[in-house]
């Protein structure tokens, strides 16, 4: 009898605990629906992609109400997709303050990875990081030569891999894209050649693959409270160790980079990269060691991951639709140029519109819930949000909504952006302000690496279509991973060298 009473007590206590953990707080807005909690947890037992989940359970309520209550990362949040609500939210950073995992779940593995940095901080900390780093992230004169060199080596590796496995077989491109994206980022931001393209399996690059697998494990993603118990969960202990290894290795590689040690003269101001600005701020005591490390890691991560994702989507889209690839190739070959500069690239309308459309249909940062309301606010004059509510956005949702983009919203049509580069970029800016195009976010917390990302994408696409033609094996289908990252990662691609490839060597200056 005593055992039964004890057992009943334990079950009861657990039930109360679970109820308190999972119930929707009563002060959350009543005029928007809640997505059933099991939808957020589907990743635990199903391999459905996030795109499929969105279409089946989120699209309808979000398109009708513009916002929903949703369980994510261990709590109830508000997810917003109506353009008017989005621009209201993003415009008011003073009310909806950035608060990343370092605030939300400071004990977690992800927080140990990213720390307090320029992307997830708010107020004085953000102003401090921005004052140090912005000039290096938003340079108007990025040297395009190292990006071109890395793009060439990237295409060489794709062709050599194809040669090795035989013309009729496809292969996975994501691992090679990752090596390219890290190498290009190192040259443009960190004054270092990580040599990932020259040396497969460089530890810093291998760690990235492990980190990406670790961070998006559905169980810990949905219940980050489990990260508090690494002594129970061995895999979390390993995860913390991996994050530490990455931080220490990156710090060591960058601080002791050969170029820095061999340099006799200080870097000229016009040639300074973000890492030079950060090192100076560290030496002068403007930022401390911890702030330096967190921002170093976030530059490394954000400046390669997003272009890596976009390149994956690009290989998928253009490899499945040869008309688009041919049209782009015709534009590139018509330039007669084999050594493009940023001026050459910025004059190409189809290349520009294609990248805008890739970012619309396949936004690499697809969903973020990393803002918290600092005071009560009526979003769009309609949704009462209490103080302390976590809010976020979903980019594929708004960018594929017919209300925002018309009947063809879900089709890939680069031409929708216009046919002159200035007109295309002006449309991108207009749609951003209206909250319909948020691939780089909007207002004062918009992406500071946008200019660089566009340059890198244009350069590598120019080199690719000029030298190779690629096709996707039709057995593959597109799928979003549970981390929300677009992942046509499993698709195999076949490459064919084109005649125009031969022009390459003659023209290298
Ligand atoms: C295709 C490539 C890229 C995409 C789609 C992208 C997208 C985004 C998005 C959506 C945000 C807002 C994040 C948030 O709300 O928390 C953001 C912020 C940011 N991005 Fe990017 N990004 C890209 C490339 C880059 C690159 C190459 C860098 C260079 C380091 C970079 C640096 C930043 C920084 C520093 C911020 C924070 C800005 C602030 O809050 O002041 N991004 N990016």
> Mind listing the pLDDT tens digit for each residue in 485-500?
444 556 789 999 998 6
Q: Where are the alpha helices (DSSP H) in 99-171?
A: 101-104, 109-114, 123-137, 145-165
> Mind listing the pLDDT tens digit for each residue in 375-394?
999 999 999 999 999 999 99
Q: Is the pLDDT of residue 418 over 90?
A: yes
Nearest-angstrom CA–CA distance, 438 and 359: 9
Q: Which residues does ligand 1 sit against, CB inside 6 Å?
A: 118-119, 130, 137, 189, 299, 302-303, 306-307, 310, 364-365, 368, 370, 439-441, 445, 447-449, 452-453
pTM, to two decimals: 0.93
Do 228 and 186 form a contact (C-beta atoms < 8 A)? Answer: no
Q: What is the pLDDT of residue 505?
A: 45
The reply, when asked if residue 196 is annotated as ligand binding, is no
User: What DSSP state is assigned to residue 58?
Assistant: I
Architecture of the structural domain at 2-506: Orthogonal Bundle (1.10)
User: What DSSP state is assigned to residue 34?
Assistant: B
Do 133 and 118 form a contact (C-beta atoms < 8 A)? Answer: yes
End-to-end CA distance of the chain: 88
Tell me what the mean pLDDT of segment 277-297 comes to: 98
Nearest-angstrom CA–CA distance, 271 and 20: 55
Residue 427 neighbours by CB distance under 10 Å: 16
- Residue 442 burial (C-beta neighbours within 10 Å; 0-12, 13-18, 19+): buried
Strand partners, 97: 372
By most ligand atoms within 8 Å of CB, the mutation choice from 447, 450, 454 for ligand 1 is: 447
Q: Grade residue 484 by pLDDT with cuts at 50, 70 and 90.
A: very low
Higher per-residue confidence, 489 vs 148: 148
Pick the closest to residue 507 from 349, 344, 314 (CA basis).
Answer: 344
Reported as type and span, the H/E element at residue 360 is helix 349-361
Per-domain residue ranges for the chain?
A: 2-506
Do 494 and 473 form a contact (C-beta atoms < 8 A)? Answer: yes
User: What DSSP state is assigned to residue 486?
Assistant: B
Task: Please tell me the distance between residue 387's alpha carbon and the centre of ligand 1 in angstroms.
Answer: 26
> Mind listing the pLDDT tens digit for each residue in 309-364?
999 999 989 999 999 999 999 999 999 999 999 999 999 999 999 999 999 999 99
Q: Is the pLDDT of residue 506 over 60?
A: no
Pick the closest to residue 27 from 78, 65, 84 (CA basis).
Answer: 78
């Amino acid at each position: 009898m005593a055992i039964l009473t004890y057992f009943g007590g334990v079950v009861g206590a657990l039930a109360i605990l679970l109820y308190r953990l999972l119930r929707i707080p009563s002060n959350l807005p009543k005029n928007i629906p809640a997505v059933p909690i099991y939808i957020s947890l589907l990743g635990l037992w199903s391999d459905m992609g996030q795109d499929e989940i969105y279409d089946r359970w989120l699209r309808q309520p979000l398109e009708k109400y513009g916002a929903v209550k949703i369980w994510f990362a261990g709590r109830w949040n508000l997810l917003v997709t109506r353009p008017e609500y989005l621009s209201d939210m993003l415009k008011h950073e003073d009310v909806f303050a950035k608060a990343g995992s370092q605030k939300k779940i400071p004990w977690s593995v992800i927080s140990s990875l990213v720390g307090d940095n320029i992307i997830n901080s708010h107020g004085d900390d953000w102003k401090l990081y921005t004052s140090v780093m912005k000039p290096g992230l938003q340079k108007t004169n990025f040297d395009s030569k190292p990006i071109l060199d890395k793009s060439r080596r990237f295409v060489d590796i794709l062709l050599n891999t194809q040669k090795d496995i035989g013309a009729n077989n496809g292969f996975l491109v994501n691992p090679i894209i990752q090596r390219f994206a890290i190498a290009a980022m190192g040259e443009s931001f960190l004054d270092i050649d990580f040599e990932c393209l020259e040396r497969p399996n460089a530890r810093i690059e291998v760690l990235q693959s492990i980190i990406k697998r670790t961070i998006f494990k559905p169980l810990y993603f949905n219940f980050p409270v489990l990260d508090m118990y690494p002594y129970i969960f061995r895999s979390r202990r390993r995860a913390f160790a991996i994050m530490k290894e990455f931080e220490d290795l990156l710090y060591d590689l960058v601080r002791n980079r050969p170029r820095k040690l061999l340099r006799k003269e200080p870097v000229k101001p016009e040639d300074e990269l973000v890492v030079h600005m950060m090192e100076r701020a560290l030496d002068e005591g403007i930022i401390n060691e911890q702030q330096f490390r967190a921002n170093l890691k976030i530059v490394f991560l954000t400046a390669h991951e997003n272009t890596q994702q976009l390149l994956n989507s690009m290989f998928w889209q253009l490899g499945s639709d040869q008309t688009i690839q041919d049209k782009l190739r015709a534009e590139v070959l018509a330039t007669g140029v084999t050594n493009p500069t940023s001026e050459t690239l910025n004059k190409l309308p189809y290349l520009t519109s294609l990248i805008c459309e890739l970012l619309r249909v396949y936004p690499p940062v697809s969903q973020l819930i990393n803002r918290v309301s600092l005071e009560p606010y009526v979003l769009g004059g309609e949704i009462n949000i209490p103080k302390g509510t976590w809010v976020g956005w979903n980019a594929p949702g708004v960018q594929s909504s017919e209300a925002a983009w018309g009947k063809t919203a879900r089709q890939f049509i680069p031409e929708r952006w216009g046919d002159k580069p200035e007109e295309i970029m002006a449309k991108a800016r207009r749609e951003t302000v209206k909250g319909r195009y948020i691939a780089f976010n909007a207002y004062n917390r918009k992406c500071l690496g946008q200019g660089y990302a566009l340059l890198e994408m244009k350069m590598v696409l120019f080199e690719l279509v000029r030298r190779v033609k690629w096709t996707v094996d039709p057995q593959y289908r597109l799928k979003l991973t549970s981390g929300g990252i677009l992942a046509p990662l499993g698709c195999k691609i076949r490459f064919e060298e084109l005649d125009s490839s031969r022009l390459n060597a003659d023209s290298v200056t």
